[in-house]
Amino acid sequence: MERDDSVHKTSLDALAREQLEAAKANARGRSSRTVYGGHERVLRQTLIALCGGQALAEHESPGEATVHVLRGRVRLVAGPNSWDGRQGDLLIVPDAPHSLEAVEDAAVLLTVAKTRTAAG
């Protein structure tokens, strides 16, 4: 049987722990690492760690997106609406400007399937 070099295994638990430590050491209180994909792919997964009280400012997503909470608690805010997520929760990101706040130290896996370019 041939080896499939396109298959990779990543410990999200270990990566979350690593990125939370990096966020605590960072003056901005956050750290991230691309787990899969990149600018050349449709699907991109990024592990993001935020110290409690830190946030990703309001922005729009380039496509469909989800936030899987790996550790801690976060709040996804879009206009007047907000959704709280804790470890194990999956939040569907609305197709509207939104922000993500860390209610406490948190690590999330952001998955985006790009369906549009930054220009539109």
What pLDDT is attached to residue 40?
81
What pLDDT is attached to residue 39?
78
Specify the residue for token string 């709280």: 84
Nearest Cα residue to 86 out of 105, 65, 99: 105
Give bridge partners of residue 59 from the DSSP assignment.
Answer: 98
* Helix residue spans in the chain (DSSP H): 12-25
Note down pLDDT in tens along the chain; length 120 residues.
555 567 889 999 999 999 999 999 999 999 999 999 987 888 999 999 999 999 999 999 888 999 999 999 999 999 999 999 999 999 999 999 999 999 999 999 999 998 866 544
How many whole angstroms separate alpha carbon 111 and alpha carbon 115?
13
How many whole angstroms separate alpha carbon 30 and alpha carbon 11?
20
Tokens of 116: 């549009």
Domain ranges of the chain: 34-114
User: CATH homologous superfamily of domain 34-114?
Assistant: Jelly Rolls (2.60.120.10)
What pLDDT is attached to residue 16?
98
What pLDDT is attached to residue 120?
47
